[in-house]
């Protein structure tokens, strides 16, 4: 694995779209070619080199390329958009769309990440050491195919719309979350280690939510069916199992109705 280190030398006046910062686009390029890759600030098309200085070298393929981003890039969006392999380490907070439509590889954000973290993600792994905001691993507007694979771990808290229209993969929020977890989901797993305000599993067809804290306002559409021991992010707990959303349509498998589940720590 080779490493390209990009260090911020110039803050954008507005916000910069760093859709070019992916191992896929860096791989096989010289540092000069990488510095020439485009980045939008509004309608102005800059080069990455206008904002960053580059050191190290890229690998021959995305999988062999690691990108380290140094400096305060909280006004920069779209790191790792559609990346398929390799690694990105962001040593500060980042703006919206970290790892959006990501298919593989690994992203670590040392600070906070803004909205649309890992939306419509298909695979790979994202770790945010700070907080996330809204739409973690949710679908793009209108799409019924949300996050379908991979893992998003947020060590802090998150906002609303976590795993909306999710069909697969795992989201772990280690802190609290606000509302709308797994809304419209048709699969996938969301683990909230803190408390949730409410609306967990609304309009959910299927999928699994694990809540280790409290749900302040549970939905009427979930009913308790059992108390079970389950493993959750490497630990085993006793959970009350709720099924639902009883208001939503349900599929059948081998004649048996498949429900969504909420596992609430007993």
Residues binding another protein (CB under 8 A): 13-15, 19, 38, 40-44, 77, 96-97, 101, 115-116, 134-135, 140-144, 160, 165, 179-180, 183-184, 198-199, 202-203, 217, 219-221, 223, 245-249
Q: Please state the closest distance from residue 170 (CB atom) to another protein, in A.
A: 22
Q: Give the separation between CA 76 and CA 82, rounded to whole angstroms.
A: 16
Q: 169, 209, 216, 217: which is closest to 193 by C-alpha? A: 209
Looking at the DSSP assignment, which residues form a beta bridge with residue 263? 210, 241
Q: 4, 139, 123: which is closest to 58 by C-alpha? A: 4
Distances (CA, A) of 95 to 4, 53, 167, 190: 21, 20, 25, 23
Cβ closer to another protein: 8 or 219? 219
Cβ closer to another protein: 104 or 244? 244
User: How many CA atoms are closer than 13 Å to the CA of 38, on its beta-carbon side?
Assistant: 6
Q: Please state the closest distance from residue 238 (CB atom) to another protein, in A.
A: 23
Cβ closer to another protein: 32 or 144? 144
Q: Please state the closest distance from residue 81 (CB atom) to another protein, in A.
A: 10
Cβ closer to another protein: 59 or 207? 207
Q: 171, 168, 178: which is closest to 153 by C-alpha? A: 171
Cβ closer to another protein: 190 or 232? 190
Q: Positive or negative, the Cα torsion across 238, 154, 61, 67?
A: negative
Question: First-to-last CA distance in the chain?
Answer: 45
Cβ closer to another protein: 56 or 198? 198
Q: 102, 91, 100, 175: which is closest to 132 by C-alpha? A: 175
Q: Give the separation between CA 94 and CA 109, rounded to whole angstroms.
A: 7
């Amino acid at each position: 694995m080779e490493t390209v280190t990009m260090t911020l030398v110039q803050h954008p006046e507005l916000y910069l779209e760093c859709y070019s910062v992916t191992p896929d686009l860096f791989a096989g390029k010289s540092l000069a070619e990488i510095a020439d890759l485009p980045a939008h600030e509004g309608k102005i098309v800059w080069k990455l080199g206008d904002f960053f200085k580059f050191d190290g070298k890229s690998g021959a393929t995305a999988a062999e390329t690691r990108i380290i981003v140094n400096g305060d890039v909280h006004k920069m969006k779209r790191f790792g958009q559609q990346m398929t392999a390799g690694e990105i380490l962001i040593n500060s907070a980042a703006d919206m769309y970290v790892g959006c439509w990501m298919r593989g590889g690994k992203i670590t954000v040392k600070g906070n990440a803004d909205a649309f973290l890992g939306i419509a993600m298909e695979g790979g792994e994202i770790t945010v050491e700070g907080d996330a905001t809204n739409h973690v691993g949710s679908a793009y507007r209108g799409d019924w195919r949300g996050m379908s694979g991979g893992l998003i771990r947020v060590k802090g808290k998150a906002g609303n719309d976590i795993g909306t229209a999710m069909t697969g993969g795992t989201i772990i929020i280690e802190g609290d979350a606000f509302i709308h977890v797994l809304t419209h989901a048709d699969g996938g797993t969301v683990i909230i280690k803190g408390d949730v305000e409410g609306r967990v599993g609304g309009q959910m067809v299927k999928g699994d939510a694990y809540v280790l804290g409290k749900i302040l306002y549970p939905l009427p559409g979930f009913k308790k069916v059992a108390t079970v021991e389950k493993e959750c992010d490497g630990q085993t707990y006793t959970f009350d199992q709720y099924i639902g959303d009883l208001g939503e349509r349900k599929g059948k498998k081998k004649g048996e109705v498949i429900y969504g589940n909420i596992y609430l720590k007993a």
